[in-house]
A and B are shown apart, each in its own frame.
Chain A
Amino acid sequence: MEVAVADLEARFEEALKATGVAGNDPMFRIAILVRRECRAARRRIVGGCALASVVAILMWIGRSAVGELLGSDIGHPDWIAMAAVTFAALLTIFFAGTPLVRRALA
């Protein structure tokens, strides 16, 4: 009876150990490093775009203020360029935040 209990305990220890992983998987570490790099890249992209859009908006406001003060027109090409930069930045922020792009980057 004692032998049976001891055998059961031994089997239990082995079976419980076997429900985990047997050893280290080098691919697991690589997957983490890749994930970390993708996350950092995504953060850089989003951060850069946010910064670009803030700069563009501030330039826009600044130039409007200067234009108002001086009472002169800054000229269409500048306005169009700044509007394009802002639009592109906002568009990138929007798409970088969507699940599709997040999945592609992660």
Chain B
Amino acid sequence: MEDDDATLVSGISAGSDRAFNLLIDRHQQAVRSFLRRILANAADADDIAQEVFLAAWTGAGRYRGTASVRSWLCAIAWRRAKSAQRSWFRSRAREASYEMETSRDDGQRAPMEDRVAVKQALLRLPIEQRAVAALCLAEGFSHSEAAGALGIPLGTVKSHVARGRTRLLGALSEVAQENSGDGGSGGRS
């Protein structure tokens, strides 16, 4: 039987390993993707993602069910990413930004230059705007869901989405123009 997320969380608070495994399998992609988009280093993002699930294991009893489990996990991820950024991430982010681009999984449909352009543009956004863009534009969160997960006003989320999208599209259109200037191949691989 397919358990819903709230049932899984109550199972986790009762100490169920099966529920915990299911929760990880169900949400690891969203949490890891979110963290990889807001942090420069993939290994550090995965490290924090593991901490997020461990925090969910120990703090499952505190889940109130007012937001979706995915939002709850992303809210934990956001808090941890922010505090990590304040400390040791600050020094490591710069040197790791290149590594992130080379450590991507193969088999992606998007051309490398598009990915690099969007990723670099993402990293240039202020962290709050980056998180909003990651949730709303990439993960498909609604504006109110993102506002709840990040703890920021709805109006701010809306403006961050609009600005973030414009800046990311701008970065991509620059790449497209460069490619068309190089011979019009469009850079598709």
Do these two chains interact? yes
Q: Name A residues whose Cβ lies closer than 8 Å to a Cβ of B.
A: 8-9, 11-12, 14-25, 28-29, 31-33, 35-36, 39
Most buried by B among A17, A19, A28, A32: A19
Summarize B's interface: helix, strand, loop or mixed: helix
Minimal beta-carbon separation of A22 from chain B (angstroms): 5
Most buried by B among A15, A25, A33: A15
Query: Can you show 19 pairs from A to B with CB atoms below 8 A apart?
Result: A8-B176, A11-B110, A14-B109, A14-B110, A14-B114, A16-B138, A18-B108, A18-B114, A19-B36, A19-B37, A19-B104, A20-B29, A20-B138, A20-B139, A21-B32, A21-B105, A23-B29, A32-B54, A36-B54
Minimal beta-carbon separation of B8 from chain A (angstroms): 14
Q: Does B115 sit at the interface, judged by CB under 8 A?
A: yes
Q: Does B46 sit at the interface, judged by CB under 8 A?
A: yes
How many angstroms between the C-alpha atoms of A79 and B36 in the bound complex? 57
Q: Does B156 sit at the interface, judged by CB under 8 A?
A: no
Q: Does B28 sit at the interface, judged by CB under 8 A?
A: yes
- Residue of chain B at shortest CB distance from A26: B25
How many angstroms between the C-alpha atoms of A36 and B53 in the bound complex? 10
The interface residues of chain B lying within 8 Å CB-to-CB of A28 are 24, 28, 32, 46, 49-50
Q: Does B72 sit at the interface, judged by CB under 8 A?
A: no
Known contacts A21-B33, A35-B54: does B168 contact A16 (CB below 8 Å)? yes
- Residue of chain A at shortest CB distance from B27: A24
User: By the criterion CB–CB under 8 Å, are A32 and B50 in contact?
Assistant: yes
How many angstroms between the C-alpha atoms of A14 and B37 in the bound complex? 14
User: By the criterion CB–CB under 8 Å, are B115 and A15 in contact?
Assistant: yes
